[in-house]
Structure 1
Amino acid sequence: MVSKELFTYHVKKALEGYYDAASLQLSPLIDLLNLVSALGETRIACLRRLLRETIEALKPPSSIPYNEQAWVGYRVLWSRYIQSRSQFAICEELGLSRTSYYRYLAEAIDAVSAILWDRYIALTPTEDRPNTIRPTDTGPIERAVRLSGYSSLQATRLAEIAEIIDDVLRIISPLENQCGITIRVSLPTQFPDTYYLSAGIVRQVLLIVLTEAIQIACNDVVNLIVAASKSEIAWRITQLRSDLLVSMDARVASNMAAAQALLAAHNGRLWSERDERKCFTLGFALPVCHPRTVLIVDDDPDTVELYTRYLRTGPYLVRTARTAQDVRKLLAQDLPDLVVLDVLLPGEDGWNILQQLKTMPETAHIPIIVCSVLSQPLLALALGAKEVLRKPVEQGTFLRAVSAALNLPEVPG
């Protein structure tokens, strides 16, 4: 069973290759959707017909005027893929900006994917189906976990930590004034040059815990103390009159659960403690990551985006290159820990890149994973590739190959 994310990727590529028989012939959707050709119809024609019918299913009822907003997504999708019109022509006809065009197009593609996904799920044996089907709104905990998956690691220095705190304090200052509270911040005097952590998660958790903390302060001052060690950065909010983690208030409990979910998704923790004056402290910590740099060499932006999304779930920094020339420029700046390489590239192909990287003394040690639609594993391995994966690649397969190449603990799934 494929993930919904990869399924949507297949749908997008099939739409982009709607009139390209060779592209549709290789589309995994043919097998995933168990397409059976009608009499005199090829499997390619069957997939093309299914895509067209699914797009038509998005067509608003005739009772809605054609110039209403409800028609825009359908018209963008139909014009782009069925009529093969350019982005410029579509934007001019519909009066859309470039940003609006891409937003409507992405939403329409997601809608087509959702219809076809339901069909795929119906064809999948019950025991192989996902454990849960997510409704539109799954509550704060699920939203928090989903958000954490899109929070990539960033190089963070003490100045950036201070900026995050200042930004959070600016946002909550109206509530701080309303409660008559002053938040005093204490930053460490010693701080390593650079930490890698998710600044987005820090910001969201700080907003949650400080918003709740200033409402239960023991007096008119709440202390925010930041401490750094080699393994983690910790934030402690002191001078609280009750324990937020055992609150019986449903709203507070829900917000604390959301904070815990955000932190847990990045191996962080949330805790509380009581001091000798019977005031409580609420603390949270995130581990310091030492990420590996992965260089993705592929000229297909959708594939690059997919692999980047896969890698965001782990301790990786992503660099990208489209051509052999791009690769040389990046290598001159810094050497990656791993290269993910497509062999079908414009100009100088990936075989030449692979051979050069493995014969140059300064890059010979870098493991290389070849990901391509071509199935030539013996040649790739003979040239020095660590692993060979055939496109399209599922997230679990991709991450296991990356972990193995870097000698990291194997990822589940």
Structure 2
Amino acid sequence: MAMLAGMFDDFEQQLRETLTHLYDPTFQPPELVRKVLAATEAAPGTSLQDLVVRAIARLEPAPHVPATARLRRLHALLAYRYVQELTQEETAERLGITPRHLRREQQRAVHLLAQRLWEQYRRRSAPVTDEGMNAGMNEVTKELTEGPEALEPAPSDVPSDPAQAWRSQVHRELASLQQNAPGQVADVLAAIQDVVRIQQPVAARYQVQLTAESELPAGVTSVHPSILRQILIMAVQRLAQQMAGGRIRLAARPDGDAVALQVVSTPAAQSPPNSEFIRETVAAQGGTVQIRHDPEHSGFHIRLPRVREVKVLVVDDNRDLVHVYRRYTERTRYRISHVAEGQRAFEAIATLAPDLIVLDVMLPDMDGWEVLTRLHEDPQTRGTPVVVCSVVRGEELALALGATLYVAKPVGRETFIQALELALARAGRPPAPGSPP
């Protein structure tokens, strides 16, 4: 038992080191960390970063756990610090606690993650039956999920005015989602289909049929996917609770620079539907809500901002890094194409007509400075914004040769997305609604 406990201590220490270097392409994780993480994921070839990100995601508490619960704060802390690479000060500010408190909570959060991963590893590779060992390993989980600390709010989270505290909490949750995943967009049709599937048990209870339809392609609204789903779920619930049979139709269509969403009941609900959550959330996303109620129909008519796809050409011979960029831009409006040589960049530009170019300096056939010079001299490409992203510290030269922006490697997700948005804005192309300033 002592040997296993010692191995866990080693694993926890190694995991802390791995978290600190999560996005460092030169970091080689210790053997024990690789073995434990590999045991948590069945799919072969999954990257270390993805394994850690998924492990942190699995710590997210169930929906019924309050937003102020300590377990939820520990999960958010891990996501802020190690997935989004925020500093301790930035993380403390988002969680509403002091940096000193944050440092204590960070130790506890990493210990919880290590404990969960270790339990999964033991179950798959070498189950332990010793009751004392099991009890010790489960102590943190039990305390945080069953004990009073599970629902213990931080002192700064205790509300004074309940209505104002609720609105403040709604906006904090929305801001947290946007900060955790800047630039994300929602597939409207996928969101509608998800809600119809999720809400079937509720609809069946009220003998209501749910139907979905959409004229939109994927990725057309700048609202975070989770936010959009919650808006639709709440709208369905509000209508179903006032019905005794009938149909609720979820529909979407383009409407100029917006997406028009309808959640409409037939026959009409007993009284006009309302939801402060929907009003607050939609307004925070730059949208509008209308409630319509007549003898035949009741429903929510919602308009949310649309976004267009942005084509990004990455010119970089580091394929692993390009994979990271693609992961950074998942579920955003950015669509990445890639070439590894400078000469091929010109061919790709002629074919793809990218909206934005991310350019490395050290390329196998010609350096990025030459590529940048030729792009700036050619009238056909001079207007395309270029972000120079390199380990070579050359911001002054990059801007002098015509680059729109310079970013030093290694670059985290939030910084990368913000660089794309800023480059588009500087080139006179408006950023997505709700994107980081």
If the length of structure 1 is used for normalisation, what is the TM-score? 0.57
> Are 1:197 and 2:221 matched, yes or no?
yes
Question: What is the aligned partner in structure 2 of residue 274 from structure 1?
Answer: 293
Distance 1:386 1:110 in 2: 29
Mapped partners of 1:94, 1:131: distance in 2: 31
1:9-34 CA distance string (max 9 Å, x none) = xxxxxxxxxxxxxxxxxxxxxxxxxx
Q: Deviations over 1:53-83 (max 9, x none)?
A: xxxxxxxxx9992345x7644234458999x
The structure-2 alpha-carbon separation of the partners of 1:347 and 1:267, relative to structure 1 and needing over 3 Å to count, comes to farther
- SS of residue matched to 2:220: strand
1:242-253 matches, within 5 Å, as 242-245=271-274, 253=276
One of 203, 208, 219 as aligned partner of 2:234? 208
Match of 1:143 among 173, 176, 187: 173
* Residue 114 (structure 2) pairs with residue 96 (structure 1): no
Confirm or deny: 8 A CA contact 2:206 2:245 kept in the other structure. Answer: no
Distance 1:328 1:195, change over 3 A: same
Q: Which of these residues, 334, 353, 372, is aligned with residue 317 of structure 1?
A: 334
Q: Which residue number in structure 1 is paired with residue 304 of structure 2?
A: 286
**Structure 2: stretches of 5+ with no match in the other structure:** 57-77, 106-152, 158-168
For structure 1, the residue ranges without an aligned partner over 5 or more in a row are 1-61, 123-128, 247-252
Distance 1:355 1:116 in 2: 35
* Match in the other structure for 1:153: 185
Identity of aligned residues (%): 20
Name the SS of the counterpart of 2:312 in structure 1.
strand
Match of 1:402 in 2: 424
Cα gap change, 1:324 to 1:412, in 2 (>3 Å): same
Q: Tell me, what secondary structure is at the counterpart of 1:293?
A: strand
- CA change 1:367–1:400 in 2 (3 A) is closer
Q: What is the deviation of 1:334? A: 0.9
What pairs with 1:100-111 in structure 2 (closer than 5 Å)?
102=49
Q: Determine if the alignment matches structure 1 residue 65 to structure 2 residue 5.
A: yes
1:217 counterpart (238, 243, 253) = 243
Distance 1:114 1:168 in 2: 28
Cα deviation 1:239-269 (Å, max 9, x = unaligned): 23334435xxxxxx5x536xx43x4454333
Distance of 1:339 and 1:95 partners within structure 2: 35
Quick check: 1:353 aligned with 2:371? yes
1:403 deviates by 0.7
Counterpart of 1:245, as a letter, is N
- Pair 1:180 & 2:197 matched: no
* C-alpha separation in 1, matches of 2:213 and 2:248: 11
Q: CA deviation at 1:175?
A: 1.5
Q: Is the 8 A contact 2:207 2:244 kept in 1?
A: no
For residues 322 and 74 of structure 1, what CA distance do their matches in structure 2 show? 39
Counterparts in 2 of 1:213 and 1:74: CA distance versus 1, 3 Å? farther
1:233 maps onto 2:265 in alignment? no
Q: Deviation per CA, 1:339-361, whole angstroms, max 9, x where unpaired?
A: 23232345532113213333455
Which of 77, 83, 96 is the aligned partner of 1:133?
96
SS in 1 for 2:259: strand
Q: Distance in 1 between matches of 2:82 and 2:220?
A: 38
Amino acid of the residue matched to residue 206 of structure 2?
A: C
Q: How far 1:132 sits from its partner (Å)?
A: 6.7
Q: Secondary structure at the match of 1:197?
A: coil
Aligned 8 A contact 2:260 2:302 in 1: yes
Q: Contact between 2:18 and 2:29, CA under 8 Å: does it hold in 1?
A: no
Q: Distance in 2 between matches of 1:115 and 1:297?
A: 25
8 A contact 2:356–2:385 mirrored in 1: yes
User: Quick one: structure 1 residues 390 and 92, their matched pair in 2 at CA, closer, same or farther if it must change by over 3 Å?
Assistant: closer
Helix, strand or coil: the match of 2:388? strand
In structure 2, the partner of 1:57 is none
Match of 1:13 in 2: none
Secondary structure of the 2:13 match is helix
Q: Taking structure 1 as reference, are residues 212 and 73 closer, same or farther at Cα in structure 2, changes over 3 Å only?
A: farther
Q: In the alignment, what sits opposite 1:256?
A: 278
Question: Deviation of residue 101 (structure 1)?
Answer: 5.5
The amino acid that maps onto 1:196 is: V
Question: 2-side partners of 1:389 and 1:204: how far apart?
Answer: 35
Report runs of 4+ in structure 1 exceeding 6 Å deviation. 79-82, 108-116, 134-138, 192-195, 391-394, 409-412
Letter in structure 1 aligned against 2:96: I
What CA distance in whole angstroms lies between the structure 1 residues aligned with 2:94 and 2:19?
A: 35
Pair 1:380–1:153, CA change in 2 (3 A): same
Residues 72/273 of structure 1: CA separation in 2 closer, same or farther (3 Å cut): farther
Paired residue secondary structure (2:361) = coil
CA distance, structure 1, for counterparts of residue 94 and residue 79 of structure 2: 25
